[in-house]
Every structure is written in structure tokens, then in C-alpha cells.
Structure 1
Amino acid sequence: MLLHSALLRWWPVQLGQFVSKDWPIGPAEVLVRRIDIEEIAPESSNTISPTHGAALTAAENEVWQSLAPGSSRQHEWLLGRLALKDVVRAWAAERGQHLEPSDVEIHLGAEGAPFARCVALSGVGGSPVISLSHNSGVVVAAAAEPGSLVGIDIEYADRRTQVVERALTPTETNFVAAEAASVLDLLVAKEAATKALGVGLGGAVARWPVASVTALAEGLLVEVTSASDAGLVLPVLVLHPLDTVLGICYVAPDTDAA
């Protein structure tokens, strides 16, 4: 994927603004932003340079430099960091706080889930919880109030699901047979639910069974049973914007999902 030099040419000039766009979708409590890769990527690219440094902390720059120069992994890593920083900054702006990208530190938990640190947000209750997902064309990031659970996942609607279908539970197979949900709907819901708990699905499709599927005007409400917390059921709103399937899991602070 050749996109990075276009991003670097654009980013320093616009420092303090946003690479991503606001995406008003899903639960009102969840802020979502997206980066459409084709809108910032030309047909060709020059050698990557570190001129984006003002957007990253020193530690983040070290990680970026450690990745193979010009690799897809390096591109994806940077876009993911920018999307996460943007969604935290946008969340802060709604609370009257102006942040530069480098004010927001993005870290990974023990299971690889991202979390944000920002000293400037201590006065508004701390940094929001965050989640990230991407496919080959779009990067999406979500943020919600501290203490809540949030997870987001996006897939192209034409993704092949034959392998996943073989791992469905009998109940899930019935949902698909009754056309209450597609295999991809269920997979996206499980991915979003596991991200909300900071663990990730990791191929353990059957260990996170879907308990129910409810049709809504805007999409589906899919309830996913947690494999890591007995009795916990996580609600996921599954939507179908354009040619994608989007799942957003949100649980308010200090509430039980089930």
C-alpha cells in the first residue's frame, strides 16, 4: 500500500487539525472517526520520511522507526495511531479541551488492545476508552467516556466466511438459516465485543457465542456472551454502511451488560 508520502506532505501543514473525518454513526455515547485511505493516497509514493514526528511522542517515534521502512505494517501502524489520536482529540474538544496529536499517548495493554493517556484530560475525568479497526480501505477509531466499554470492528461485506461458518454454534447456525443475521454480522459482533473487553477474538469464534439477534430500524442488535467473564452479555450494534459491515459494542460505566 503506497500512501505514506502523501500523508506526510499533507500532515505537517495541517498539524493541529485532523487526518480523520467525523463519522456520526452508532450509539450516541460513542464518538467514531474514520480515515478513507484512498482519499490521502496517490497512485505512487516516495520514500517515507519522519516529518510526521510532531504528531507522535518520542516513544511512538521509536516504535515507528523500528518497523520496516515503507512496509504495509509501518503504514497501518501510523494510520492507526493518527486515527486514535484524532478520536481522543475530538472527544476532548467536545469537553472544551484543545489537544495537539503529541499530547495524546497511545499504548497497548497486555492483550494488545490500545488505550490512551493524556495528562491534560485529568480535569475531565481522564482519557476516554478507545478502540480501533481497519480493512484495506478504511481505518476507524471509537472513543467513549472513561470507565465504559467500547469496541469497534469493520469488514468489507464481501469478506469470505466459510471457515467461520464451520465454527458457529447451533444457535448461531439457526440465526443464519433464518436470515436473522449473516455469518459476517455474527463475526463482526464477536470481534467488537471482544475488543470492548480488551482481549480480541483471536480465532476463538465458538468461545464467544451469540445469545440473541434483534432487528432494529438501523441495523441489528447482537448480544454476545463473554468467554472471559461468565454471565456477561455484551450488546453490539451491527450496521451496514455502504459496502461494509460495522460493529460497535458499548457498555456504559458502572453498569452490567446483562
Structure 2
Amino acid sequence: MKELSSRAAENEILPLIGRVFEVEALRELEPGEPLPAGPGDSPAPPSAAPERAAPNEEPGGQPVLPFIGRILEHAPGQSIAVERWLTLDEDLHLADHAFVHAPGVKPLFACLPVVPMTLSLEILAEAAACLAPGHGLIGFEEVKATRWIELADTDRLRLRITAQVEQWDGARNTAHIAAAIHVENHAAPAIQARVLFAPHYRLDLELHFTELADAYLYPRTTEEIYRDRHLFHGPVYQSLVGRIVLGDRGAAGELLVKAPEIMFRSIREPQFLTEPALLDAVGQLIGIWAMQRERYVFPISIGKLELYRPTPAPGTQCPVLIEITRDEGKLLVADVEIQDGAGAVWMRIKDWTDWKFRWEKRLLNFRRLPTRYLLSHALDLPSLPPSASCRMISSEDIAGFDTGLLARFCLHLDEMHAFTDLGSNTPGQKHWLLGRIAAKDAVRDWLARQSGTEEMLHPAALIVRNGEQGRPEVATSADATQLPQISISHSDNRAIAIAHAGAVGVDIEPIRPRQSSFVETMAGESERSLFGILGGDSDEWATRIWCAKEAAAKFLGLGMNGSPKAYEVQAIGENGLIHILHRDSGRTAAVRTVRREEFVIAYVGSSITKTGGGHA
């Protein structure tokens, strides 16, 4: 750690001025007073300014502050409100911060692009700078992010950015400006902070970092971290470089200052007040530390951030040191120091706070590389042909992960409508999604084994529709010479699916006490007489027979049509093989039933062996 010199209490290095040309042009719009000169002055109530475009261009025509859009209200030196439309066409940076990884499969608007907290700080700073002519950004206080700024199923989003002078500290010649970003259709701000401007940098944070205890070199290089998507960030936000050292309560690494040349379509050289991409990499480094402890984090607040010098030149590698100060419950809190690449301290951050999650490793790998990993578990069933694929998934496998976000990973655009219609966060919606995941995993596994490749189809490239009699069918726009037939069943937070070259049927049900009325509705007198002959658990046999009828109905493609007695049990083998006759058509099915824990699984296929397989 590099100590700041004593002169940092009132650093003679001038901070990045709040864009003098920008502010002066704003002042020409209407008469008004500049910032008050001292604490005794009280600003007049804000007055509305005419709606007109912000004078956001340099004399050469190049935009200055990329997030200052149309000015809605402006009282010079007091308050401002700005409208800024985020669009996927203009804001290219959004493509590199999308939560769903589906390149070439889903359009970007369906992949949940999100504005990082650090880019939100830049937006806040630009609006606040319009109220501080001749002053420069020296930091932020009390940053609070309460919701994602996301483009969900849209290619444009309206932001309303407000800033108001909250306090003028005449003794320290510092402006405290409260700023917030409001997203359309939401009353509360998505993020808010106090932005600090002054003519000189100033040191208020005295942070003391301890040596990294039990330090070790992180086994992956930063290139591998981004390439293998251990971090989801695209090129714009890939600012971690070199090797990373982790310790018991902290981490150390290097951050690269990058020229923001590909952030916007029409702005070749955006002039930022902060360094949002590099700051986002601070959160990435904290995330790597957390991942080593099987935790995954998203930033929600910052206590204070202080700048001590201008942004180093692009290409500079800046050492960063992180110390974890609190790791308990749902919160992870850290202090941060970043150097300028020349041995001096560039900035310090107090109480960078993340919200922690814990996800199953299978879920994490799928989210990282959905064409390499499956969410469900393989299920080995007796007599199931080697070419068939049977997959099972439960609610526990996706615990802690947002259901709506998972749906975006797994579902085709056409399926998202059906998912939404089921109602947010309802049991039926989750069961339906689990069934689709199991079915798509079975199909993806089946296709990969047929072609002998490790790479699989993206689940969102497949669509599951209901055909005749409600039988599910799978289709894809991808290049697949042959698709299997599928069958799906779900019960009690579990879903199972089989993909097979021929017709197939599967059903799963929990074993539970069955009332006599259920048995009488489900089975005829001759079938019920079999229970006494079979012996054992009558509830298990009732469940087996019910599952067998369901599986047979799916296999034959005739449906149950509310009449389970249309399917008659002809014989039951000791190994759980149940022979079913469909009375009306005269067609038969030999359904194998097995018990797995407290569930019965019944399955039948055109080439599933009808004998052998041992006892169920």
C-alpha cells in the first residue's frame, strides 16, 4: 500500500473540471445564479426550464458528456433534471453486461442487458457536474442501488436523471449534490448518491490495509477467467489483467485503464468523469474472492469513494488492493485502494457492499456456458436403451436463482409468452419451467451423443410445443438433421423427461396414501383384485398403476381424456413391468415401473426392453 503524502489534505492537483464548456453552455440557456459562495446562502426554489436539447457538443461537434440528454428542468447552481434514453443501437456497452449468454440464439433485448452500478455513478456525476461550474469531481458518498437498470424485452429505456445542490460547504469549498436515476414506470430511484465537487482533491478517508494472510496465486489467469466466462463481462468491462493474489480476508491484482472507444455507436471519444469499466473490475475482483468460498455477489452500495488525481492514461495498469471488512449473513463489505500505475494512490473506496448468493455448482456452470453444461441430472433406468436420454431436475437444483432470469436462459422467445402467462413466481410456473428444462436437456444430450460432439445446442434454440392429445414435440431453428421424440412429467417440485428416437412416455408421482375413492376412479374391479395378489405396499402399487396408465397414454399418443379406466392393466410382473391395454383402440403398451426414493417412475418406449432388468 502506498501512503498519501501530507499535502493530500488539500491536494494542489486539480481534479477533472465538470466540463467547463458544458456548464458554460448550460448557463447560457437561461439566467441564474452559480453555486452559492458560502453556507449562509440559500438557493431559490427550482424553476422549470423549457424542454430543449442539451448543448452537449464540443466546438468540433464531438459530444462531451455521453449521458446528458435532453434537459427537462434546470435552475443553474441549484437543480437539474435530464432525460436520457438508453438504446441498444447507441449504447453498445450494454451488450457487454448482459446476464443471459445466448449469442446468435437470442436477440440482445431478450438477454437482460443491465447497467452496472459503476456506470450509474458516471451518469450521476455527469448530471451533478452541470451544477458545479469550474469545480471537479472528487468523490461520492452514500451510494445506494435498489434495483437493476435493465432493458427487459425492449431495445430502449427512458431514464430521468436528477441532481440538486444539497449543501455548500463554504469552509471547504465543496459542493454536496444529491443525484438519482429514475427508471420509467418506477416511482423510487434505481440508484442514488451524494456527488462531491471541489476545486482541489482532498483526503478524508484514512484506510489501513493489513497484509494478505494465507496468500496464494489464483490458479486462473485473467484471460482464462474471461474466456471461460467465470465472469460474464464482455470486452468493454474486461479490465482485470495479470495474475490475482487471494488471501484469507482480501485480494490484490491489477486493473487496466482502457480507452472507451466502443462504448457508444455515435460517440468516438466519450469524456467520462469517472472510469466506469475499471471500477466495475473492482466488483469483479471481489466476486472472484467470493467465488472461492462458493458465494456469488452483486454490488448494492458504497459508503464513500474518494479520488486523489485524474484518470491515468489508457493502457496504464493500476495495482488494486481489497480488504474484506465484513463477511456475514447476506452482506460482503470491502475497502479498496487503487494506485495510478506510477506509485501514487489514485482512489480509495470505503464500504463497497455486495449482496451474496449461493448457487449449486451445476447451476453456476450452466449459467456460465449453457452449451457445455446441463442443469438436470442423468437418470439411469433399467432397460432404457443406451441411445435414449433421461434427465431429472428438482427445485433444489435451482434454489436461490431467480426463476425469471433462468427462464431467459432456457426458453425460446415463443415460450417466454407462455411462461409469463402462468403468473410470476407461482408453483405452476416453476413446475412448467422445470419440465421444459428437463426436456431440453434430454434433447441436447441426445443430439450431442448422436453427433459425438461436446458442444450442445443452446436450450433457447429449442422450442417445446404441444401436439395432438397434448403430446409435447420439440423443434429448433438450428441445424439438426434429426430430432428425438420426448415425453415430460413433473410432480412435487420434480420434473423428468426422456428423449428417444421412437415414441416414448414417462410419468412420475410421489408415493402417498390413496383414498379408496381415488383407487375406484382409477382402476376397475379386476385391476383392484390384483392388489391382494401382489402384496406389499398397496399405496405403492396404486401409484405404480396410475403412473403406468399415464405413461401408456403418452406413449400411445391417445391421451387420458379424463378416463383412466380406458386403460386396463392386463398383467403385472414382479419386476414392475405392467401390461396396459387401451380398450377403444386395442393397442397395448408394456410399461416399466421403478421406485426412486419416495417416487414411482413409469416409462415406456418403442424399443425399451420388455423383459429383464431385475426387480423394481
- For this structure pair, what is the TM-score category when the shorter chain's length is used for normalisation? 0.7 to 0.9
Describe how 1:3-42 pairs up with structure 2 within 5 A.
10=364, 12-16=367-371, 17-29=373-385, 30-42=388-400
- The separation in 2 between residues aligned to 1:184 and 1:51, in whole angstroms, is 32
Deviating more after overlay: 91-100 vs 176-185: 176-185
- Please list the CA deviations of residues 50-107 of structure 1 after superposition, one character each: whole Å capped at 9, or x if unmatched: 4642422111122222221111122112111111110000111111253111222211
- Partner of 2:492: helix, strand, or coil? coil
- The separation in 1 between residues aligned to 2:607 and 2:515, in whole angstroms, is 31
CA gap of 1:215–1:78, structure 2 versus 1, over 3 A, is same
Instruction: Point out the structure with max Rg over C-alpha.
Output: 2
Greater strand share, structure number: 2
CA gap of 1:75–1:36, structure 2 versus 1, over 3 A, is closer
User: Is the contact between residue 164 and residue 205 of structure 1 (CA under 8 Å) also seen in structure 2?
Assistant: no
User: Is the contact between residue 164 and residue 187 of structure 1 (CA under 8 Å) also seen in structure 2?
Assistant: no
User: Is the contact between residue 394 and residue 434 of structure 2 (CA under 8 Å) also seen in structure 1?
Assistant: no
Instruction: Please name the residue that 2:597 is paired with.
Output: 242
When the two chains are superposed, the root-mean-square deviation of aligned CA atoms in Å is 2.5
**Given the two structures, how large is their TM-score scaled by the length of structure 2?**
0.36
- Partner of 2:450: helix, strand, or coil? coil
Match of 2:565 among 188, 200, 206: 206
Deviating more after overlay: 113-122 vs 127-136: 113-122
Instruction: Please name the residue that 2:494 is paired with.
Output: 138
Instruction: Please name the residue that 2:448 is paired with.
Output: 93
Instruction: Please name the residue that 1:256 is paired with.
Output: none
Matched, 1:65 2:420: yes
User: Is the contact between residue 129 and residue 143 of structure 1 (CA under 8 Å) also seen in structure 2?
Assistant: yes
User: Is the contact between residue 407 and residue 433 of structure 2 (CA under 8 Å) also seen in structure 1?
Assistant: no
User: Is the contact between residue 151 and residue 196 of structure 1 (CA under 8 Å) also seen in structure 2?
Assistant: yes
Instruction: Please name the residue that 1:222 is paired with.
Output: 578
User: Is the contact between residue 380 and residue 390 of structure 2 (CA under 8 Å) also seen in structure 1?
Assistant: yes
Instruction: Please name the residue that 2:512 is paired with.
Output: 158
- The separation in 2 between residues aligned to 1:22 and 1:41, in whole angstroms, is 19
- The separation in 2 between residues aligned to 1:60 and 1:159, in whole angstroms, is 36
User: Is the contact between residue 431 and residue 493 of structure 2 (CA under 8 Å) also seen in structure 1?
Assistant: no
Instruction: Please name the residue that 2:554 is paired with.
Output: 195
User: Is the contact between residue 506 and residue 604 of structure 2 (CA under 8 Å) also seen in structure 1?
Assistant: yes
CA gap of 1:197–1:121, structure 2 versus 1, over 3 A, is farther
CA gap of 1:247–1:40, structure 2 versus 1, over 3 A, is same
Kindly state the Cα deviation for residue 159 of structure 1 after the two structures are TM-superposed: 4.8
User: Is the contact between residue 548 and residue 591 of structure 2 (CA under 8 Å) also seen in structure 1?
Assistant: yes
Kindly state the Cα deviation for residue 38 of structure 1 after the two structures are TM-superposed: 2.0
Matched, 1:110 2:465: no
- The separation in 2 between residues aligned to 1:234 and 1:225, in whole angstroms, is 7
- Partner of 1:99: helix, strand, or coil? coil
Kindly state the Cα deviation for residue 141 of structure 1 after the two structures are TM-superposed: 0.6
Kindly state the Cα deviation for residue 169 of structure 1 after the two structures are TM-superposed: 1.9
- Partner of 1:201: helix, strand, or coil? coil
- The separation in 1 between residues aligned to 2:417 and 2:507, in whole angstroms, is 27
Match of 1:74 among 420, 423, 429: 429
Kindly state the Cα deviation for residue 15 of structure 1 after the two structures are TM-superposed: 2.0
User: Is the contact between residue 121 and residue 127 of structure 1 (CA under 8 Å) also seen in structure 2?
Assistant: no
User: Is the contact between residue 27 and residue 250 of structure 1 (CA under 8 Å) also seen in structure 2?
Assistant: no
User: Is the contact between residue 238 and residue 248 of structure 1 (CA under 8 Å) also seen in structure 2?
Assistant: yes
Instruction: Please name the residue that 2:322 is paired with.
Output: none
- Partner of 1:134: helix, strand, or coil? strand
How many residue pairs align between the two structures? 237
- Partner of 1:151: helix, strand, or coil? strand
For 2:468, the aligned partner's letter is A
Kindly state the Cα deviation for residue 137 of structure 1 after the two structures are TM-superposed: 3.3
CA gap of 1:243–1:54, structure 2 versus 1, over 3 A, is closer
User: Is the contact between residue 164 and residue 183 of structure 1 (CA under 8 Å) also seen in structure 2?
Assistant: no
- The separation in 2 between residues aligned to 1:139 and 1:201, in whole angstroms, is 19
CA gap of 1:57–1:247, structure 2 versus 1, over 3 A, is same
